[in-house]
Amino acid sequence: MRMRDLEKASGVGRETIRYYIREGLLPEPDKASRNSARYSDVHVARLKAIKRLQEERFLPLAVIRELLEAEDGNRWLLPDAFPMLDALLAQRLEEAGPARVALADLGVPDHQREHLDDLMISVADDGTVSARDAAILRTVGRLDEIGFRPELGFNDGQMRLYHVLIDWLTNQEIRHFLEHTAGQVGEAKALDMAEQGIALINELLGQLRTRALLKKLAERRRIANDNG
């Protein structure tokens, strides 16, 4: 298809399309001649994906590029690379105790019950949630107790932000892990690395986040002093 057909099919203007090509968000078109380019359904699909990520997730183009590159590398997600890794890792990471917990036993306040979807909590027909979701709800409850409540800004929008960031980060982590271990180590070794790595990287991320928060607050104070 020609540029005008791509504009019509995607709803994106030609200047934006050319910008995306320059920035590596879109593949180069086939050049029939110096002044003639042909585009394909791949360009249409990629443009629609970019629009969706911008409009639904409010992501910057740099993050969108990383997500699209990750999608291009999905061959590493095929199950023939460590076919039992997910099941075995889930078994190892399950906490001791019941697999399901009654939502009623968790003491979830009404204002949180109304936003379980934003927490991505799935409640079964019998009123139970998974042990992992129960742990998430307990943590959210502790945040609520110390003041992180909807009226102070800790609301569904904040949770959606966390989910977007975590979804992006875990996609990158899984892709990177599989790219560098598949064919290099056995599944037993990969399982040990994944199990221990999750806990250690959670700790590392907490340390990095704390350092970054303190740095931002110090910069805020410095700017205030400079302006004073």
Domain boundaries, the chain: 1-72
CA end-to-end span of the chain, whole Å? Answer: 59
- H or E stretch at 149: none
Q: What is the pLDDT of residue 8?
A: 92
The mean pLDDT value for 200-227 works out to 92
Query: What percent of the chain lies above the pLDDT cut of 70?
Result: 91
pLDDT classification of 72: cutoffs 50, 70, 90: low
Strand, coil or helix: what is 128? strand
Q: Which of 171, 194, 177 is nearest to 69 (CA)?
A: 171
Q: What is the pLDDT of residues 95-122, one digit of tens each?
A: 666 789 999 999 888 878 877 887 888 8
Based on its alpha-carbon atoms, the radius of gyration of the chain, rounded to whole angstroms, reads 23
Q: What is the pLDDT of residues 131-173, one digit of tens each?
A: 899 999 999 889 888 988 877 777 777 888 888 889 889 988 9
Second CATH level (architecture) for the domain 1-72 = Orthogonal Bundle (1.10)
pLDDT classification of 197: cutoffs 50, 70, 90: very high
- What is the spatial distance between Cα 167 and Cα 53, in angstroms, rounded to a whole number? 12
Question: What is the overall mean pLDDT for the chain?
Answer: 85
- What is the spatial distance between Cα 51 and Cα 127, in angstroms, rounded to a whole number? 37
Q: Which residues pair with 129 in a beta bridge?
A: 101
Determine phi and psi for 40, rounding to 5 degrees.
-125, 180
Quick check: 195 pLDDT over 80? yes
Quick check: 228 pLDDT over 90? no
